[in-house]
Amino acid sequence: MASLLLRGSVRCLSRSLVLKTSRSQCLLRNALPFSRNSARAVASSTSTSVAAAATTVDSPTSAAEPSTSYHEESGAPAFRANIDFKFETDRVRALRNENSAAMKKKLEAEERQALIDNGKALKEELEGLETALAVADNALQREGQKIPNLTHPDVPVGGEEVAVLLEEVGAQPKFNFEAKDHMAVGEALDIIDFETGAIVSGTKFYYLRREAALLELALINWAMHKAATRGFIPMTTPDLVRESVFEKCGFQPRADNTQIYGVRDSGLCLTGTAEIPLGGVHMDKILSEAELPIKMAAFGHCFRTEAGAAGAAGRGLYRVHQFSKVEMFVISTPEQSNALHDELLEMEVEMFRELGLHFKVLDMPTADLGAPAYRKYDIEAWMPGLQRYGEISSASNCTDYQSRRLNIRYRPQAQESGEGGKDVGKGGKVKKTPTQFVHTLNATACAVPRMIVAILENFQQEDGSVVVPEVLRPYMMGIEVIKRD
């Protein structure tokens, strides 16, 4: 009798496999045109459908088959393909597990062979579905990139001309001589060399020598010291990062006007900011609430094409293809992020005040936020040689925009209920609280070239020398004045 029942189970499993295989093959056939055009923009996709798709990608797949009415009516192929392949992959994987479990029982040779054949077919089917799911996931990610983050209700609407002045620190320095720009100052002191940089690497590359090289190192060490004393974990990061991580952070390395350098045939890009490799540190992880906030500060090299950035505004060190920077990155709960954003801004203000710079703090408008930012503060320092204010730092709260794409979650602490202060379910089992997406924030502690611009121009002397800000001298071998020997 037991043998009869087992034989019936094997036949039932085989019949089920045939039905599921037919459905999977149909899905794969229907997806072929989509797969070939997975990177193409889908004009009929709506903001609502893509946002819903992003949520679906990050949420666990339901055990029951989802209704297809919504995504079929929405006209969003990326969303539809992702849902279909995710569901079907789970079905075939479950079927394979059933097949494996059945093989552990005592079987006759014929029955065992049937299960072995079924297992092979299921393995092939699953491999095909997983490949198709990867294509669908990639296409959905590209569609999601077209949707920017929401904005804070206090963010001004419009272009940079409507930015709100939050604070102005210090006053413009007064000179009893005609102030030079940083290029004139640096070349006269023989500490900046763009000419050799152009010969060796091309335009907008440079050499720093003597005190300028020491000044770069001093700025980096000073900034890292300041961040570490405020609880940030000091880090160094890779200069090359996968394209997929760029995309999940809200950057588009393949766009026509991209600022990102790609490495041919590698799937890697040179980082434009340490924000990107720092964002990837906890990718696809579930953190505990007790771990948050996580504060990281990284020294990294930045590479940018600066496409379309020609002109006097980008003269000299102000806009270059390669530079060093100390970047702060924070992972927090949603409840913590606004206060942490204010903390990052307060740190930046404190640092630039210590340097003795005159600067203003701006609440940036919608047109200047970029895709990931919910709210962004910019700090612009007065640059007397350039006769204008120039951005030296920014601080952004990206809420859950990056974490949804990077799949960084946290598990809130259980609410105190029941005995022992734990959330107790049926049968006395402790229930796990559902995970939530973290918030991410980033801020520039020190973008070296622009800080050098500000220092050379604001602290130049009539004899051509430059006074080193007092806070930097311990990091610069005690040098107080940069002067030509």
Catalytic residues: 304, 319, 391, 394, 450
189-216 residues labelled b (16+ CB within 10 A) or e (exposed)? bebbbbeebeeeeeebebebeebbebbb
